[in-house]
């Protein structure tokens, strides 16, 4: 059995485009269905007995390289998602947080993000974190520069952990969907001793049932954190 329960789950949501292509649909349809999957998985996590935080890789710093029409669609989808999910957040006691540099988003989208954070700040069943315009290297660099600006001449691991955007920084379990087996600049600091699971399932098809099976597998692992016991 694991030495600690699953408290912080992180997911790289991959495969929306391939899911749509397999069905002869536009990539945007894959993103729409993928947004519904976020709702299902988040609701599952809110009802779970040990999960406190679920962090989703929603838009990376590298995603700006995608076609402009797709990027614009993703921005509109995010705005709509947050607007529609507010009821879900409140009903299920979910606190919403965003990490990443949202300053590059439109003013209206920034306002939506900040408003949703404010309206859900007192919810306690689960913290859902969306990584938006996020990169792991950028987060670490920002944290170190912040510490330097505070006059730090010597930086400790604890200093960096406390300066990161991500609360409850250690990730217990990372899941990546779609069969790809890489981290893709996601939560690089926080994943140092995380358990990793890669599934062939494309994100729009990922279900609470599959997550339940993955978590069961996780609970049967023995986490040593560099030790031998």
Q: What is the mean pLDDT of each run of 10 residues along the chain (229 residues)?
A: 79 97 96 98 97 96 94 97 97 97 97 98 97 96 95 92 83 97 96 96 98 94 60
Only one residue has tokens 């691991």, namely 157
pTM: 0.93
The predicted pLDDT at position 180 comes to 96
- Distance, in Å, from the CA atom of 205 to the CA atom of 208, rounded to the nearest integer, reads 10
Active-site residue, selected from the candidate residues 14, 92, 123, 133: 14
pLDDT of 97-146, one tens digit each?
999 999 999 999 999 999 999 999 999 999 999 999 999 999 999 999 99
The predicted pLDDT at position 2 comes to 47
- Distance, in Å, from the CA atom of 79 to the CA atom of 64, rounded to the nearest integer, reads 17
The predicted pLDDT at position 223 comes to 65
Its sign, for the CA torsion 62, 146, 182, 37, is negative
212 is catalytic: no
The predicted pLDDT at position 220 comes to 87
The predicted pLDDT at position 226 comes to 54
The predicted pLDDT at position 166 comes to 83
Residue 55 near residue 48, CB atoms below 8 Å: no
User: What are the b/e assignments for 21-59, b being 16+ CB within 10 Å?
Assistant: eeeeeebbbbbbbbbebbeebbbbbbebeebbbbbbbbb
Active-site residue, selected from the candidate residues 40, 63, 92, 103: 63
63 is catalytic: yes
């Amino acid at each position: 059995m694991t030495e600690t329960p699953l408290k912080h789950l992180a997911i790289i949501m991959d495969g929306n485009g391939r899911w749509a292509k397999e069905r002869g649909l536009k990539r945007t349809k894959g993103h729409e269905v993928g947004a519904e999957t976020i709702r299902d998985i988040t609701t599952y996590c809110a009802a779970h007995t040990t999960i406190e935080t679920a962090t989703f890789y929603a838009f990376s710093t590298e995603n700006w390289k995608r076609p402009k029409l797709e990027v614009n669609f993703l921005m509109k989808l995010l705005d709509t998602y947050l607007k529609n999910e507010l009821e879900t957040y409140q009903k299920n006691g979910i606190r919403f947080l965003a990490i990443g540099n949202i300053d590059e988003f439109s003013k209206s989208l920034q306002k939506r993000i900040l408003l949703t954070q404010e309206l859900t700040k007192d919810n306690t069943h689960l913290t859902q974190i969306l990584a938006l315009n996020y990169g792991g290297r950028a987060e670490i660099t920002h944290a170190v520069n912040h510490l330097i600006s505070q006059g730090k001449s010597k930086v400790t691991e604890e200093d960096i952990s406390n300066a990161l955007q991500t609360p409850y920084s250690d990730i217990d379990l990372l899941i990546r969907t779609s069969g790809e087996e890489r981290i893709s600049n996601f939560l690089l600091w926080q994943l140092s001793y995380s358990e990793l699971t890669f599934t062939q399932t494309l994100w729009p098809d990922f279900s609470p049932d599959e997550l339940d099976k993955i978590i069961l597998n996780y609970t049967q692992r023995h986490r040593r954190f560099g030790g031998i016991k």
